[in-house]
Structure 1
Amino acid sequence: MNRPGPDVPTPAERRPSAPGRPEERDPFVAARQRYWHAVRAGRHAPPVRRSPAAGGLLAELVEAEYALFDPPRARPGSASVHDVALARLRSGIRTGDVPSPETCVRSIAGGAHARSAVAAVWPDSLRRHGVHRATAALRGGLSRGRDPETTSFLLDLAAVGRLLPLPVEDLARFARGPHRRVRHAAWRLLVSAGHEVPERASATGEHDAYERLLLDALRHPGAAGAGTTGGRPGVLVAQAMLMGSLDRPGEGLSGGLGVLLGALGDSLARTDGIAGVVTAVTACRPELEADPVLLRRRSPGHWILRLPVDSDRPPGPEDTGDHREETAWWAARLLGSLRPRVDVLHVRYSDDGSLALAEAARRIGARLVFTATPDPHRQMTERHGAPGADPAAVRHDLHRVFLGDCLAARADRVVGIAGRDGGAAELLSHFPQLAGGRGTAGIGTPPEGIAPYRPGPGADVRRRRLVEPISAALEDARVPAPTVLLSVGRLHPVKQQDVLVRAWIESGCHEESLLVLVGGSPGTPGPAEDRVRTGVEEALASCPDARNRILMLPALSNSDVRLLERTLADPASGIRARYVCPSAKEEFGLAVLEAMDAGMLVAGPLRGGVPHYLVDGHNGLLIDTSSVRSLGAGLTRLVGTDDRRAAELARRARLLVRSSYSVGAMARALGDHYRDTADREEDACEGAPPIPVSLSGTAAPPRRGGTRETPGPSPRSSTSGPGTGRRSTGPVHRPSSTAW
């Protein structure tokens, strides 16, 4: 547990939370609590009670998914037949009721979320019901002449079990067909079943960078190995960052996680008992055309592995399901080619990409660590409880909750971000199944942290360049004794820069401050950035005076952001500056920590993980960011805090960060988790994770101990990237004798 540093109140002294237990305040949490209690007790769950706080589509779907064993009562509503069928499928998967292959194939008609549920349970269905039934079910699905998306998905299911539902000649026709996704799925299936990709593997014979890499990995698996270099003994760790760039925070989907994983990987590679770190990122077609190298060293012992994605743009949250099997295949192929083998794979998001990597870990025999967060759990009722909620958003968030349960069930170790109590109590209220067989001792809350600040080369020149536009904007603003309000982050609706601008104007803070927003792509913005920029423009159109008092700068490197923050915080700059994070929520808030470390007075969101370290009125301000009015009130407090008080709060904040929130401490704590996870023997007691077995039912080979070396590129990795010589799909998890 992360211990409070000097001058930090104990949890009991912190701002009290709302009265009552979470399940007494939130109907969605209550439904999950009752459901998992009933699962553990082996009895029916009580009916889900509807209330005004949980009405509409959310209530219907929760009743269908969390009314254990009993089908929901028929009543008119917004839920479709497919909605109810998916809810019951998810409920059965949670309790270990493995659906038959025929049910799986029928279920995929329910859409993308149904396909995701089927993909999660398919290996267990294969083992439970046998390859003959699975082959027949797939043959029936393919014979009905479905759309290309469904066809490719069925071919992917066949490849998982190395099944041939159709004659090789028919599969070869798919492999030469016009639809990319079908074509690629057929290639992978043919090779998994011991056949070759046709020589003419497309209608035109022409291939782009992605297809060239895929064909090379399929046709020459042994030659594309990643190779090895000499290194130190220990555990080889892989960590995932499937969205955004590791080195361009603030652009597109790139945010604090990239900064964190870059610094964490560097620090972990220097930690005792860790042989090396591989950070898995994605590379879309244009990125592969520009640079086909898949494995590079970032720092001593820390390697960056690029997983190819068949897309014309970097994948976003809405895309991960479309590339699920593709991601699992590439991750298993490339991570499985490293020598020594990856011991532990760590995923941090409840999305289809993380579930794909969990499947890759199963195939290569690596342990899985999952960082569970109560997102979107703690906001389900508030966001979707009232009638009239956006149906797509309701379904998407319920899907994410299901994925979180899947990952928690598959993980060999679950860790969380410490809550206000310094432990995992809040997490357990949203993941009640984790308080069962595994016990609370198995849920660690390693500290988060930031890397020590290093100014980098040319700091003086960079400092002048960074401050010049702000100084010029202050002159143009013509505000007596203005305050600079700095906010740094990618332009995204959840970061709420547009809400911040409206709050800044409506509260009147624009009359006495300059608002500086840092973030966004300097080139072509994505849809999320467009929405935020449109919202900012609409807010400024309502108040022409504010237009000269706002400065929007494109994303800066992390080094430049931290240099700018230190410059603004330095009294010698002559600038009165404050930092504000307007996000709807932050699971932790690394940018907030960096501003605190720089010596700025910080205002952060009341929701999420920031209140764990930022105590209102003690080392910063906590503000309600849920509405324009409440955010405006927080800005008024921030601007109105006198300089002496601001300096004292900032001093305490900086002391806390430097004493308790270093990336080195985070690396040491995670290193302990990784070593213990890699070395522990399977626990045979009730509630233990499923036991890996092969499709034949024989036990999977035990993990080998001994010396681990750091991965390095082979001569081929500079042109084609690493691959693997293994064709086996690896072990399939045995369904647990107890519920998830």
Structure 2
Amino acid sequence: MDVGPALAAVRAAPTLLEAMREARVLATVTVGDPGGDTLSVLRSAARTSDPLTAIAAVHALGASGHPSAGRVLAELLAGDRRHVAQHAVDALRHAPLVHSALPVLVRRCQDGGFTGMLAQHTLEQWAKDEPEAVRAPLVGALSTSVETAVRARLVETLGLVAGGASTQALLDLAGDDHEALPVRAAALAALGDGPAADRGAEPLLVALTRSVGPLAQTARLALHDLCPAPTVSTPGGLTVAQVFLHSDIDGRLHHSGQGDTGGIATLLVHLGDALLRQQPHIGRVITISGGSPDPAQFPLVRHRSPDWPMPASELLTAGHHYARVPLTGASTGISRGWPARVSARRGIRRVLRAAGHVDAIHLRMADVGSMAAAEVAVDLGIPVVLTLAPDPQALIDARDTAGTLTRSGFGEADLVEHLWFRDRLLLDLTERADHLVLFPRPQVERDLRRYLALDLSTHPERATVVGEGVDVSAIDRTVREVRDESGRGLATSAALRAVDDLLATLPADRRSLPVAVSVGRLNAVKGMATLVRAWADDADLHDRCNLLLVGGDLEHPTDEEAAELARIDAVVPRHEAARRGLLLAGHRPNATTIAWLAALQQRRAGTGAPPGIYVSASLKEEFGIAILEAMAVGLVVVAPAGGGPATYVADGETGILTDTSTPYAVAAATHAALDLAVAPGADARAREAQHMVRTRFGIDTMAVSLAEVYQRIAAPRRPGSTGTSGSSSTTEGPTQPDVMEGAS
């Protein structure tokens, strides 16, 4: 196809997603060495008023690889259309170095943020071929910059440039007692891991590890990176790593519902434990999150006598390990974590190297953690499993259909949400993954073609459909303790006192009303503000039930949490909330939340309130762990009609499926769920929901399916193996294990 028709297809595409798919075709046809006419056409298209066409042309210029295309992109950096300039920063990564663009890219690095990450990535790529050319403007910028955060970003970028001059500059900065601590820390980290790392830094690192100052931990990790302890034998069975950097994950889920610590954190904890119980045997699970690393996992090599053994990482022992990655940047939230790419990559590589042989790494979303982990996996030769969910594609499509995201407004929305980049990142991760895991959806293959233009019919062995799971044994135990005081543990007793105290803050005349509860992160996509609007604006619904929201950090909210709280406060001011029947509980440990759900499913002593219900007003829900947990305790649920919930919520029986894009629809569904919760046969329907969760979506059922996936992709790479990757399946679609058929 010629560039003209390909460009016309972008312009004529009837939907945003189709235009983005045609843009990928446009980039493909320009690969190589296009002539002057092609460059002229693309240059003109990049200046058009249609944001989608302009962005598509920018990336086609980058894909061409032509030196003249790089110069056109450099011109676009200075334009007043910020969305075009931002994409030009990214597209330049695929072009040969353009000297006129270097000062602009360095300034973008200094500015930081998402665009700063893109600029740093481009400079890193260029430095592989021309390190001197990239180093000079970075050193020059350091000589004139005084702001600490700016200097730290420049130093981090300098660490991506190989050569003795880079190493010496880093040594000077790291050893300068008058330099700001974040700048010295950035230099130390780069001296331990990266193109500028050098054994000549060892004396400085050793000296700082022996200090008691704030740099000791950074120097210790850098020394481990520079001189890692030798890998000893690893325990039997497979080793699987799973990554989610946007929370500090611990085995007891103390941070559940805080910031971006949502259902995925709960899943990884329970899944990691369940995988260790499975056959094929899995000996180790390493869950990698953000936070302060455990020194025992990263021992230092010291000169020892023959009778004093060399230290070994605790990660080399069998079991479920929680390894943490220290991240740079003001926020590690999903939407604002992009500047942490380099520190994320460095920390993930540290964990995986310390762990010795790793058979598979499982990635679950198009975020900075998956981006960094995929790079490390390539370097270390570790097979990648990707849970593929059409995010942000499904959300783009829904907003396009609703008219809330348009062609004309795409550029401004993309500047904030990075929609184009996240789309491309997910597609790139999909292409590079050794195996794909798909969520159950009513029309999974259709949705893959619609949202991702992905057709798996020719290679069905590449994908397996696996439903997520919940720890049904732990949930059942909590439900029993809630119902039977004689066998109640201390944790459940404390949880029940807490929920009773919370309900006691309601006015006396509202305490006999049922409670509609929603659990999740305070993020716009979870629809908490939409739910509050639905409840508050419908007078009958407001008079019929109270509303309890569990999740979010109410005292120290992230930017996303603060924005959602502001939207809630605009409907029901915080100081009036309890009086009007709205309870904001903030984040609670997962075990506490389960106890609350179980308590609300039955009448609480002294209130006489009918059973409560669970409401998810998420704009999209790929699967819905919290919804499953609510069903596991017997609550009637309201859930989005699209995505995963439609595969397990029996509409009108165990719950209500609805359009969650409007408060009106959410209110109507909530009325219907309240009716269903007290209709004849409610107990039988609750038992049906609980049985469905136990038999189809227990965490062990999920673990069985994933263990088979890990075994399949690891077999060809393990010593002495004669296995082959993939499957000999001849089915016409992705593998559908028993979890989809309701088998235990």
TM-score scaled by length of structure 2: 0.73
Letter in 2 for 1:281: S
Q: How does 1:179-190 map to 2 (within 5 A)?
A: 179-180=180-181, 182-190=183-191
Is 1:251 paired with 2:245?
Answer: no
Segment drifting more, 540-549 vs 570-579: 540-549
Of residues 573, 581, 591, the one that matches 1:559 is 591
Q: Deviations over 1:324-377 (max 9, x none)?
A: 1112112212320123x2221112121122211222223333222222221111
Is 1:30 paired with 2:18?
Answer: yes
Q: Is contact 1:57–1:391 with CA below 8 Å preserved after alignment?
A: no
User: 2-side partners of 1:314 and 1:207: how far apart?
Assistant: 27
Query: Match of 2:169?
Result: 170
Q: Tell me the CA shift for residue 79 of structure 1.
A: 7.8
Query: Match of 2:284?
Result: 276
Is 1:375 paired with 2:385?
Answer: no
Q: Is contact 1:217–1:224 with CA below 8 Å preserved after alignment?
A: no
User: 1-side partners of 2:420 and 2:131: how far apart?
Assistant: 31
Is 1:235 paired with 2:235?
Answer: no
Q: Is contact 2:138–2:154 with CA below 8 Å preserved after alignment?
A: yes
Q: Deviations over 1:234-269 (max 9, x none)?
A: 221110121123312122322111110000000112
Q: Deviations over 1:190-217 (max 9, x none)?
A: 45233215739999x98755x3222123
Letter in 2 for 1:443: A
User: 1-side partners of 2:171 and 2:182: how far apart?
Assistant: 14
Query: Match of 1:620?
Result: 655
Q: Is contact 1:266–1:300 with CA below 8 Å preserved after alignment?
A: no
CA gap 1:83/1:526 in 2 versus in 1, 3 angstroms: closer
User: 1-side partners of 2:554 and 2:314: how far apart?
Assistant: 26
CA gap 1:258/1:511 in 2 versus in 1, 3 angstroms: same
Q: Secondary structure at the match of 2:712?
A: helix
Query: Match of 2:310?
Result: none
Q: How does 1:303-702 map to 2 (within 5 A)?
A: 303-310=321-328, 315-339=332-356, 341-380=357-396, 382=399, 383-385=404-406, 387-388=408-409, 390-391=412-413, 393-394=415-416, 396-421=418-443, 423-432=444-453, 434-435=454-455, 439-454=459-474, 455=477, 457-458=489-490, 461-462=493-494, 464-469=496-501, 472=504, 476-478=508-510, 482-508=513-539, 509-521=541-553, 524-541=556-573, 547-570=579-602, 575-641=610-676, 642-644=678-680, 646-647=682-683, 649-680=685-716
Q: Secondary structure at the match of 1:579?
A: strand
CA gap 1:468/1:155 in 2 versus in 1, 3 angstroms: closer
Q: Tell me the CA shift for residue 392 of structure 1.
A: 5.8
CA gap 1:149/1:134 in 2 versus in 1, 3 angstroms: farther
User: 2-side partners of 1:437 and 1:40: how far apart?
Assistant: 22
Of residues 131, 134, 145, the one that matches 1:138 is 134
Letter in 2 for 1:276: R
CA gap 1:39/1:528 in 2 versus in 1, 3 angstroms: closer
* Runs (5+) with no aligned partner, structure 1: 1-22, 49-53, 682-702, 707-740
CA gap 1:36/1:221 in 2 versus in 1, 3 angstroms: closer
CA gap 1:167/1:526 in 2 versus in 1, 3 angstroms: closer
CA gap 1:618/1:145 in 2 versus in 1, 3 angstroms: same
CA gap 1:281/1:474 in 2 versus in 1, 3 angstroms: same
User: 2-side partners of 1:379 and 1:673: how far apart?
Assistant: 28
Structure with more relative contact order (C-alpha pairs < 8 Å, separation 6 or more): 1
User: 1-side partners of 2:502 and 2:639: how far apart?
Assistant: 22
Q: Tell me the CA shift for residue 672 of structure 1.
A: 1.6
Letter in 1 for 2:55: L
Query: Match of 1:736?
Result: none
Aligned pair count reads 637
Q: Tell me the CA shift for residue 437 of structure 1.
A: 11
Q: Secondary structure at the match of 1:357?
A: helix
User: 2-side partners of 1:329 and 1:545: how far apart?
Assistant: 45
Q: Secondary structure at the match of 1:622?
A: strand
Aligned-CA RMSD value: 4.5
Q: Deviations over 1:667-700 (max 9, x none)?
A: 111112212222347xxxxxxxxxxxxxxxxxxx
Letter in 2 for 1:84: V
Q: Deviations over 1:90-120 (max 9, x none)?
A: 5687xxx664586995656556545545666
Q: Tell me the CA shift for residue 497 of structure 1.
A: 2.2
Q: Secondary structure at the match of 2:524?
A: coil
